[in-house]
Amino acid sequence: MLPEQFLTRMEAQLGEEFPDFLRAYDRPRAVGLRLNPLKTHCPPELPFTLHPVQWVKTGYFYDAGQRPGLHPWHEAGLYYLQEPSAMAPAELLCPLPGERVLDLCAAPGGKSTQLAGKMEGQGLLVCNEYSQKRAKILSQNIERMGISNALVINETTDRLAERFPGWFHRVLVDAPCSGEGMFRKEQAAIEDWSMENVALCARRQAEILDNAAKMLAPGGRLVYSTCTFSPEENEETMLAFLDRHPEFRELRLNLPWFTETQVGYRLWPHKLLGEGHYVAVLEKTEGQTERIPTEKGTKLPALWQSLAKELDITLPGGKAIPFGRTWFWAPEELPELKGLRVLRPGLELGEEAAGRFTPAHALALWLKTAKSVHDLQPDSPEIAAYLAGETLPGQEKGWTLMTVGGLSIGWAKGSGGMLKNHYPKGLRRRGQSH
């Protein structure tokens, strides 16, 4: 049951298209996945029925009954399950390798991981989420997708605006909203909806956008998006922002699948396969680029050097950052971290303790190969046993990169004809090995 006030507003908003909009709620929900360019070095043939998402080269619709989230390649980071219309904002931000990019409202990570794929491991991707609980989920998805150049933080947008004035080449604001495009997916979105909440969201969006504007360098691109239909949170928010910020102009692009509006674009669920989205693309024409202090790196410990030699690991350009006993490899432009709530300052290499260096799960997912590799077939009992945390037979000795169909998925340690399982306990699939 959709809210009565929502239906009244949508009828006034859509006019003769309103019956088509209502009928869209009767069709099965469109579901999609997006391939991860960081993991398609040996592109496997996916065992799912896929159809291309027209507005995203790496996006595909799939049959919901096939449940790709249960396939081992999901845990290997080969793809991210994402609602198809939600793929549009990151596509339109279009970051380039080597740029400084900010995803300001990043959880759970769909758009951040999409941006990372476009950046090809080069430059700096800052992924921020205000909610601490959601920031942890964001960090986990950054890890799963094998991303090495992301700084994951848990901050307010005003604090970030103070730290990073005029610094980013591109900023994505996928703003918290009233979630009208989530009505079919989440009953809670219907229960929480009200016109008062729409107005509250619009006020919050204005504040977030003002802070985002401060952080964008001149010539940079800002993309604003929501998964809601209300004009108050979309066109009206954008028009008010442009009035407050004459240093910004809207960019009009050739987007044949979307509906052009007074400002921005609509992805209507009755006009394409998706739950709906709003997106606007802006450029900052004036301002000043600021210099930001960067974090000082240090030398990696000898124990890491031994492990890297043992496994034949070569790291990209960057710098070493210790967090207690845990070591990270960060992009050169990693900003000074003091005073920031940091969850992940780059690629986690592992932990130095008790005279040993234990490689991190994140490192395994980033690697494409290693000196010692044990490959498992995606539909085999062995991969099910590995994901459940069981020991496997294997002749490899020492740290061994476990792969599934050629894609890295975790670590094991070989000795005496057996591979001791080092798949993280929190990720293990209990009871699925038999």
Tell me which residue of 338, 329, 325 sits closest to 299, measured CA to CA.
329
Q: Are 283 and 249 in contact (CB under 8 A)?
A: yes
Q: Are 347 and 333 in contact (CB under 8 A)?
A: no
Quote the CA–CA distance of 94 and 283 in Å, as a whole number.
13
What are the strands of the beta sheet with 347-353, ordered from one edge?
A: 319-323, 326-330, 347-353, 356-359
Segment 159-164 long-range contacts (CB within 8 Å, at least 24 positions apart): 160/102, 160/104, 160/128, 160/211, 160/215, 161/211, 161/212, 161/214, 161/215, 163/292, 163/335, 163/339, 163/340, 164/102, 164/215, 164/290, 164/292, 164/335
- List residues bridging with 181 in a β-sheet: none
Read off the tokens for 49. 């029925």
CB 258 within 8 A of CB 54: no
Residue with tokens 């549009």: 88
User: Which residues are paired to 309 by β-bridges?
Assistant: none
Q: What angle do CA 138, 36, 361 make, to 5 degrees?
A: 55
Ramachandran category for residue 187: left, alpha or beta (phi over 0 → left; psi -120 to 50 → alpha) = alpha
Check: CB of residue 50 under 8 Å from CB of residue 295.
no
User: Residues with catalytic annotation?
Assistant: 227
CB burial of residue 11 (10 Å; 0-12, 13-18, 19+): middle
Q: Within a 10 A sphere around the Cβ of 52, how many other Cβ atoms?
A: 12
What is the rounded distance in angstroms from the CA atom of residue 356 to the CA atom of residue 370? Answer: 19
DSSP 8-state code for residue 275: S
> How many CB atoms sit inside 10 A of residue 38's CB?
21
Q: Residue 335 gets which letter from DSSP?
A: B
